């Protein structure tokens, strides 16, 4: 085995249990963001079939996106405030 192959195999960290995310107080927010993005994408893709008016086809996904963004901002600020005040360490 060459030295580059040895370094390559040493630099790869293997997890026995598959995917693992380091504990973070923002993990819940990350999950909520993923759900909002998936639902928003589905809403954008289906809005042409759900709404006949072009106005509604733009307004509903835009409204969902703004509401989702406000929700994520509020959640991040709440988690950051908990961390700052020492109520959440992990």
**pLDDT higher than threshold 90 for residue 72:** yes
**Structural domain of 45:** 26-90
Rg of the chain in Å (alpha carbons): 21
Q: How far apart are CA 36 and CA 76, in angstroms?
A: 14
Is 41 within the bounds of a domain?
A: yes
Q: How far apart are CA 69 and CA 61, in angstroms?
A: 12
Is 20 within the bounds of a domain?
A: no
Is 15 within the bounds of a domain?
A: no
pTM exceeds 0.75, yes or no: no
Cα-to-chain-centroid distance, residue 21: 13
The structural domain count of the chain equals: 1
Q: How far apart are CA 16 and CA 67, in angstroms?
A: 39
Q: What pLDDT is stored for residue 32 in this prediction?
A: 96
Among the residue ranges 15-19, 26-30, 42-46, 62-66, the one predicted with the least confidence is 15-19
Q: 3-state DSSP call for residue 5?
A: helix
Is 44 within the bounds of a domain?
A: yes
Is 8 within the bounds of a domain?
A: no
Q: Percentage of the chain surpassing pLDDT 90?
A: 61
């Amino acid at each position: 085995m060459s030295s580059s192959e040895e370094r390559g195999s040493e630099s790869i960290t293997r997890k026995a249990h598959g995917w693992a995310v380091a504990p973070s107080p923002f993990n819940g927010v990350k999950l909520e963001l993923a759900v909002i993005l998936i639902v928003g994408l589905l809403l954008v893709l289906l809005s042409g079939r759900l709404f006949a008016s072009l106005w509604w086809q733009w307004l509903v996904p835009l409204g969902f996106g703004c509401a989702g963004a406000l929700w994520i901002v509020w959640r991040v600020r709440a988690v950051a405030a908990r961390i700052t005040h020492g109520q959440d360490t992990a």
